[in-house]
Amino acid sequence: MAETKTVKFIITRQDTPDSNPYEEEFEVPYRPNMNVISALMEIRRNPVNNKGQQTAPVTWDMNCLEEVCGACSMVINGKPRQACSALVDKLEQPIRLAPMKTFPVVRDLQIDRSKMFDSLKKVKAWIPIDGTYDLGPGPRMPETKRQWAYELSKCMTCGVCLEACPNVNSKTNFMGPFVFNQVRLFNAHPTGAMNKAERLNAFMEDGGLTGCGNSQNCVQACPKGIPITTSIAAVNRDATLQSFKNFFGSDRA
Amino acid sequence: MAGNREFFNRRLHSLLGVVPIGLFLLVHLTVNHQATGGAESFNRAANFMESLPFLHVLEILLIFLPLLYHAIYGLYIAFTGTVNTGKFGYFRNWMYLLQRITGVITLIFVAWHVWETRIAMMFGTPLNYQMMEDILSSPFMIGFYLVGIISAIFHFSNGLWSFMVSWGITLSPRSQVISTYVTMIIFVVLSIVGIQTVFAFI
């Protein structure tokens, strides 16, 4: 039994939203099939750094633990990804953990992704079906289209594409790559298509679709393999047509 | 739609880069390439361009103003982006970075080039083969011109690629790969044209 085997972590920590970040090293006992979350839990159970000093347990966010909620996104060995699906056996050591700096840091590895949800509200990324009376069943969606849309619907608002995007930063108000995909998803839905122009016009406002610089990092970084750059070009095409309609007018409802 | 000025500005920037600036670049490279046929042939081509009707109107409306807009708004775009090729060293991210670097180099080059040729011509230096031969008489200027011309051509070629994405012409990954090849072939071909022209004056 290799009882002495340990895993070394270098964690970028930050005590408050405004304080300066610092690094702290930890060594946790190795267990087979461990992921980054279980290592963080081990640190929480025994918050002692590798100098043997008692320290505050590391804070992080998590929820589903199966890479569908997006809450535990952090920068692991330089790459933004989910901590739950980051297996220790597949990572180079020491494992470096840092918060996704594109977002406001709440504490340690915990970040505030509110701006993503605000962006979704801005572009009306939902399907309005509420009314004062029963509207009955909506239009049917062909099965092939449903399967295609399912791929787009895998977005979990994890923020990895924003972390990878060179145009999402404090100098711009670009909402980020994921919005293209959500606009395309809801515009493709037979009921959602009824509000297509509204969504496009909202997304054509400042901070919207023109913020994309085509570096295409988002599609490479997306943990769910969503064809974000295809969505970008598709929404760009729709926005081109929408802008012509806005300018010249259209007799199509 | 109160706040879609950014949309208009950015799309205008994208359009002007291809029409008229990109088209002008093609005409300019073609005309100058006549230098490979000797001084006589270059002067004939240059004189033809100078004899175009409404020359000043064409120059201002089709070259100067679009170029100025594209350059100023382009600088804004370039400096509101960040460099993250160290963390994300993907091909398209490098192209994103190169597009911005070559844009800035092209701006410096074009400013100097216009000063030396068009502005100098305004002050009385005749624009002919002799002028370019004098400009390219130092090794530094040859290097400067080669870097400037290749930057401009790269910026145009790769700009064509992103133009097609930004306007929603190339959608699928495959179409974007094909347009990468096509625009890079355009880059190589035009670079040969540009380099041949520079060496025709030496």
Average pLDDT over residues B62-66: 97
Taking an 8 Å cut-off on Cβ atoms, the answer to whether B80 and A217 are in contact is no
Stretches where chain A sits below pLDDT 50 are: none
- Taking each continuous run of H as one helix and of E as one strand, the counts in chain B are 10, 0
By C-alpha distance, the chain A residue nearest B168 is: A237
Taking an 8 Å cut-off on Cβ atoms, the answer to whether A216 and B92 are in contact is yes
Q: What is the pTM of this model?
A: 0.94
- pLDDT at residue A130, as a whole number: 83
Taking an 8 Å cut-off on Cβ atoms, the answer to whether B82 and A210 are in contact is no
Taking an 8 Å cut-off on Cβ atoms, the answer to whether B176 and A233 are in contact is yes
- pLDDT at residue B1, as a whole number: 44
- Chain B partners of A216 at a C-beta cutoff of 8 Å? 90, 92-93, 96
B5 touches chain A (CB under 8 A): yes
* Residues in a beta bridge with B17: none
Residue pair A120/A157 in contact by the 8 Å Cβ criterion: yes
Q: Which one of A74, A215, A226, A236 would you mutate to disrupt binding with B, by most B Cβ within 10 Å of its Cβ? A: A215
Q: Is A67 left (phi over 0), alpha (psi -120 to 50) or beta?
A: left
HEC letters along chain A: CCCCCEEEEEEEECCCCCCCCEEEEEEEECCCCCEHHHHHHHHHHCCECCCCCECCCCCCCCCCCCCCCCCCEEEECCEEEECCCCEHHHCCCCEEEECCCCCCEEECCEECCHHHHHHHHHCCCCCCCCCCCCCCCCCCCCHHHHHHHHHHCCCCCCCHHHHHCCCCCCCCCCCCCHHHHHHHHHHHCCCHHHHHHHHHHHHCCCCCHHHCCCCCHHHHHCCCCCCHHHHHHHHHHHHHHHHHHHHHCCCCC
- pLDDT at residue A101, as a whole number: 96
User: pLDDT by residue (tens digit) across A164-176?
Assistant: 999 999 999 999 9
User: pLDDT by residue (tens digit) across B30-41?
Assistant: 999 999 999 999
Q: Which one of A152, A201, A232, A236 would you mutate to disrupt binding with B, by most B Cβ within 10 Å of its Cβ? A: A236
- Chain B partners of A160 at a C-beta cutoff of 8 Å? none
The interface pTM score, or ipTM, of the predicted complex is: 0.94
B170 touches chain A (CB under 8 A): yes
Q: Which one of B83, B88, B158 would you mutate to disrupt binding with A, by most A Cβ within 10 Å of its Cβ? A: B88
Q: Which one of B1, B5, B7, B76 would you mutate to disrupt binding with A, by most A Cβ within 10 Å of its Cβ? A: B7
The domain A6-111 having CATH identifier 3.10.20.30: the answer here is: yes
B79 touches chain A (CB under 8 A): yes
Residue A54 phi/psi, 5-degree rounding, is: -70, 135
Token code pair at residue A69: 């909620």
B78: containing domain: 5-200
A50 touches chain B (CB under 8 A): no
Q: How far is CA A85 from CA A108, A159, A196, B114, in A?
A: 19, 15, 35, 56
- pLDDT at residue A134, as a whole number: 86
Q: How far is B68 from chain A (nearest CA, A)?
A: 20
- Domains of chain A, by residue range, sit at 6-111, 114-248
- pLDDT at residue B105, as a whole number: 98
Nearest to residue A192, comparing CAs of A250, A124, A117, A142? A124
Per-residue pLDDT for B4 more than 90? no
- pLDDT at residue A253, as a whole number: 62
Per-residue pLDDT for B149 more than 70? yes
A208 touches chain B (CB under 8 A): yes
**Residue given tokens 């020491």 in the structure block:** A94
Q: How far is B42 from chain A (nearest CA, A)?
A: 39
- Chain B partners of A171 at a C-beta cutoff of 8 Å? 79-80, 82
* Residues in a beta bridge with A68: none
Average pLDDT over residues B144-150: 98
Per-residue pLDDT for B186 more than 80? yes
The class level of CATH for A114-248 reads mainly alpha
- pLDDT at residue B2, as a whole number: 46
Average pLDDT over residues B156-174: 98
Q: What CATH number does the domain containing B157 carry?
A: 1.20.1300.10
